[in-house]
Amino acid sequence: MTFPTEFLVGAATAAHQNEGNNVNSGHWYQENLPGRPAELRSGDAVDMYHRWEADLDLLVELGLNTFRFSLEWSRIEPSEGFFSRAEIAHYRAMIEGCFARGVTPVVTVLHFSLPQWFEARGGWLAEGAVELFERYVAAVAPILTDVPWVVTINEPNLMAIVPVFEKMIAAGIPIRGLPMPDPEYVPSAIAAHRAAVRALRAGGVPRVGLSLAMHDFIAEPGGEAALQAHRAAAEDQFLDATEGDDFVGVQAYTNLRFGPEGVLPPAEDAEKTIVGWEFWPNAVVTAVRHAWEYTGGRMPVLVTENGIATADDSRRIAYTRAALTGLEGLIAEGVDLRGYVHWTYMDNFEWMGAFGPTFGLVAVDRETFVRTPKPSARWLGRVAAANAIVD
Ligand code: BGC
């Protein structure tokens, strides 16, 4: 079986995790507070800010046809109200670099990292936060008018969970499983997405959507009600917020198990990835199905992230092959799935795990920045080139 013509197969990145030296971002500020361990800093990341041309050349050489990357708000608006023409031109050059190589760009306007000045004035809950975000989005819309896939916000549903994590860490409460989004943050996350859609549409951007962190939900005995409540809060209210969008981006990695009290830890005997998640290729299949069915099939779906953190690259291939096989089945059933973008292009800065969890198709030498494709990169490139799952 082959994928539909023009099915996209590529790899995803995000600015803070790859560019390096995002010195005006809130993440940078936090990472560099006195006393923070040096090994948990993003630092140079993988220096993609300077190496993006060679990185695009390598992507093409591998056979991949799609590249997802994000714009860094803290570079474009490093201080409130100053929009850097030079940085906007930098991202425009990346978009043109994709087109020049026949690569489809998928551009994310906000992938977690916020300018420190925005954090300092109170972040998403402060008065005028959504309006400030909308002004930034309006400033970048002119460079996105020919980009076929524009993601407003990466995982606004996870963005609304991060404050819960922060409160738990501050209170010394151990994090087990994924908490529900903070209800205080949900309205801002949704309003920010809607504002971004408005600004992008007003700027002439053709196809706009968000991407969501999704799971394969599994009810253990007595866990059905907890499952339903969690899915409604973590996924469905955000799928409701896609009303009027042009596509939905699905990101899924693993399952979430539920008992009568809520989320359970991963099954003890299951294979785990470096970040402790169950090896669960079906996650993305169930997630795409849920996004498609819940939204009544009113818009196409794009897998904007899927992958595993592993040191054993053969498990990455096995996982990805199984995920793609399941997705192929969904397409055969009539789901309008337009592509598969793997997380992630190269081993990069994995937020709280720093450089430990290796999700990449390509390894990076941390001293020299030399890139070395893993067998999974070559394999996925051959899938892209053949437009079919290959051996
Ligand atoms: C995020 C990525 C992250 C990945 C793996 C997704 O939730 O969008 O930035 O690296 O998960 O943890």
Residue 298 to residue 273: CA distance in whole angstroms:
34
226 assigned to some structural domain: yes
pLDDT tens-digit series, residues 28-60: 999 999 999 999 999 999 999 999 999 999 999
pLDDT tens-digit series, residues 278-314: 999 999 999 999 999 999 999 999 999 999 999 999 9
Using an 8 Å Cβ cutoff, are 252 and 287 in contact?
yes
Is position 155 annotated as part of the catalytic site? yes
pLDDT tens-digit series, residues 177-226: 789 999 999 999 999 999 999 999 999 999 999 999 999 999 999 999 99
How many whole angstroms from its chain centre is CA 73? Answer: 16
Using an 8 Å Cβ cutoff, are 99 and 137 in contact?
no
Neighbour-count burial for 176-192, b at 16+ CB within 10 Å, e otherwise: eebbbbbeebbebbbbb
Burial of residue 201 (CB within 10 Å: 0-12, 13-18, 19+) is middle
Q: How confident is the model at residue 174 (pLDDT cuts 50, 70, 90)?
A: confident
- β-pair partners for 251: 213, 305
Structure-token pair, residue 153: 């916000």
2 assigned to some structural domain: no
| pLDDT score at 267 | 95
110 CB under 6 A from ligand 1? no
- Which atom of ligand 1 is nearest to 275's Cα? 12
What is the arithmetic mean of pLDDT over 96-104?
99
| pLDDT score at 138 | 98
Cα 350 to middle of ligand 1, angstroms: 7
1 assigned to some structural domain: no
3 assigned to some structural domain: no
pLDDT tens-digit series, residues 136-170: 999 999 999 999 999 999 999 999 999 998 899 88
- Per the structure, the count of domains in the chain is 1
Q: What is the mean pLDDT of the chain?
A: 97
Three-state secondary structure call for residue 124: helix
| pLDDT score at 177 | 76
| pLDDT score at 118 | 98
Using an 8 Å Cβ cutoff, are 277 and 266 in contact?
yes
**In this structure, what CATH number is given to the domain that contains residue 292?**
3.20.20.80
Using an 8 Å Cβ cutoff, are 194 and 202 in contact?
no
227 assigned to some structural domain: yes
pTM listed for this prediction: 0.98
343 CB under 6 A from ligand 1? yes
Using an 8 Å Cβ cutoff, are 115 and 78 in contact?
yes
Q: How confident is the model at residue 391 (pLDDT cuts 50, 70, 90)?
A: confident
Using an 8 Å Cβ cutoff, are 289 and 334 in contact?
no
134 CB under 6 A from ligand 1? no
Q: Domain residues for 234?
A: 8-386
pLDDT tens-digit series, residues 358-374: 999 999 999 999 999 99
Which of 21-25, 50-54, 164-168, 268-272 is least confident? 164-168
152 assigned to some structural domain: yes
Residue 230 pLDDT > 90 = yes
pLDDT tens-digit series, residues 304-346: 999 999 999 999 999 999 999 999 999 999 999 999 999 999 9
Using an 8 Å Cβ cutoff, are 186 and 237 in contact?
yes
Q: How confident is the model at residue 381 (pLDDT cuts 50, 70, 90)?
A: very high
**To test the ligand 1 pocket, which listed residue (42, 343, 345, 348) has its Cβ within 8 A of the most ligand atoms?**
343
- β-pair partners for 128: none
Residue 176 pLDDT > 90 = no
Residue 342 to residue 358: CA distance in whole angstroms:
13
Cα 153 to middle of ligand 1, angstroms: 13
